[in-house]
Chain A
């Protein structure tokens, strides 16, 4: 076997992915070829070193909160798109690859969806298209909220707006895709479509918006929820499909009607953060803290805000940045002492103190940082970062004393 051939096989060789026959040939070769032997050694060194790299291990508190957070997210997520459902049922026949095929497929899909949809709806109703637990819950919410709309309209809790206004808002939302928290409609004006003609015990609401009586003045208040009711003809299949698609589009806003606005705002903020819109995300977290200080997600919002500031401190590496971090985490622990995130915050506080002391090198700061780190280690036993910080601080303090 030549050296060039051996070199190509060294990587699968160390992974044990070669046949025994080939592996034997490699072993033979490297036993007498120094250069290939060294290349093999270098690869093995690289593999060993790579495995030692640091992988962040979140706290137990973080993991304890992981599943509940996921449940909240599943509940808040909009159902899968109509197209995805159709794709699932009909496979790639309706959504072929290639630009022209895609276009042709899309046209064919629309026609097919129309006819199949009409047939299914007339036969069984639109509910047969909805199967997943998350969607069932979503639909229940839609129905529950829809049922309350006429009553709430009467009380002035919701405002019924005409379609033109809704279209205007929709246009505005499209022009400014990033969430603008000052605009209430982003969170509390879900364009719910209403199919029913009223509920028991309440007078029927006229579905045509233009025929609807003007809402009481209370509905003009900033906090009033505004719901648009579009004219519909539920028995028409195409209208039902349109309604279904529209309902899905508005699913995010539906949660505003269910009253959990802070949760919605939090989800929105996380989405912004995920998209890299950090400023917008921070503004939204701040919005939650300002407007929903008692919300169950207030500590999460504050935690995220602090983390965002931490990124800034890490980047700038100046004293004031870390001092701000230290104060921010101290405040967090005072305000949310019972939070599930308290342990994680304690770790961040210890880290901030470590950096501050590292920069000032004053005896007072070093002692304080050491104490905070030691206290945190009691809660976070086995946290190697803390142990290292404590070790470093002890050394520094010793040097300072000497």
Chain B
């Protein structure tokens, strides 16, 4: 993230901390879609993602006092979002238990009807399988993978978000990818682009 962007975030956070709700609103408007996307990718559910996005900003607002200027606001916010999502999933005990094959028979079969010929089905099925495979990752691996793949965070930024070392980020990401490669072997191996 460019330094000037981080600096303007910090300035807004400082103003928000001083009681300027409009400054906090600016931060919300800037990051609401990223926060929602993180929550959605963690939960795969709009209703949960909506609630978690709201909760993230509520918690951030309430914790502004503890925000330390100098710490990148975005990573601080993402930390809240990831923690809220993980806690939510733990509470709900909503680890996907179905196998990939089982899952392929549920939403995919339902939403791709018998009259959907052509590559549409294959693409959608593939997408569904990838999503399900990601959902099968343990939460620790999933959060690292999502932050890297979809938020394009560097290892250092992920380390800040999750409060872990850069080395741990690297090993978790490698493990996540290895697991995904195994689950999606038929789609990712032997396909030269």
- Contact between chains at A396 and B155 (CB < 8 Å): no
The secondary-structure label for the interface of chain B is helix
State which of B29, B48, B64, B126 has its C-beta within 8 Å of the C-beta of A49: B126
Contact with A along B71-99 (1 / 0, CB 8 A): 00000000000000000100110100000
Interface residue A144 (Cβ < 8 Å from any Cβ of B): no
Contact with A along B16-33 (1 / 0, CB 8 A): 000101000100110011
The secondary-structure label for the interface of chain A is helix
Interface residue B177 (Cβ < 8 Å from any Cβ of A): yes
C-alpha spacing A55/B134, complex, angstroms: 13
Contacts of B190 in A (CB 8 A): 38
The stretch of A20-28, A256-264, A267-275, A291-299 in contact with B is A267-275
Contact with A along B149-179 (1 / 0, CB 8 A): 1100011000000000000001001100100
Contacts of A70 in B (CB 8 A): 28, 54, 57-58
Q: Beyond A49-B130, A70-B58, is A396–B193 a contact (Cβ under 8 Å)? A: no
State which of A17, A63, A77 has its C-beta within 8 Å of the C-beta of B155: A17
Least CB distance, B82 to chain A, in whole angstroms: 16
State which of B92, B94, B189 has its C-beta within 8 Å of the C-beta of A42: B189
- Contact between chains at B54 and A50 (CB < 8 Å): no
Q: Which residue of B has the minimal Cβ distance to A11?
A: B174
Contact with A along B115-151 (1 / 0, CB 8 A): 1110010000011001100100000000001001110
The stretch of A95-103, A128-136, A219-227, A229-237 in contact with B is A128-136
C-alpha spacing A73/B57, complex, angstroms: 10
State which of A55, A63, A392 has its C-beta within 8 Å of the C-beta of B150: A55
Contact residues on B (Cβ < 8 Å of other chain), bracket: 35 or more
- Contact between chains at A399 and B115 (CB < 8 Å): yes
- Contact between chains at A53 and B188 (CB < 8 Å): no
State which of A11, A56, A74, A307 has its C-beta within 8 Å of the C-beta of B49: A56
A residues 43-100 touching B (CB-CB < 8 Å): 43-56, 58, 62-63, 66-67, 69-71, 73-74, 77, 79-80, 88
Q: Beyond A46-B180, A52-B127, A132-B62, is A275–B29 a contact (Cβ under 8 Å)? A: no
State which of B91, B106, B191 has its C-beta within 8 Å of the C-beta of A45: B191
State which of A17, A132, A274 has its C-beta within 8 Å of the C-beta of B154: A17
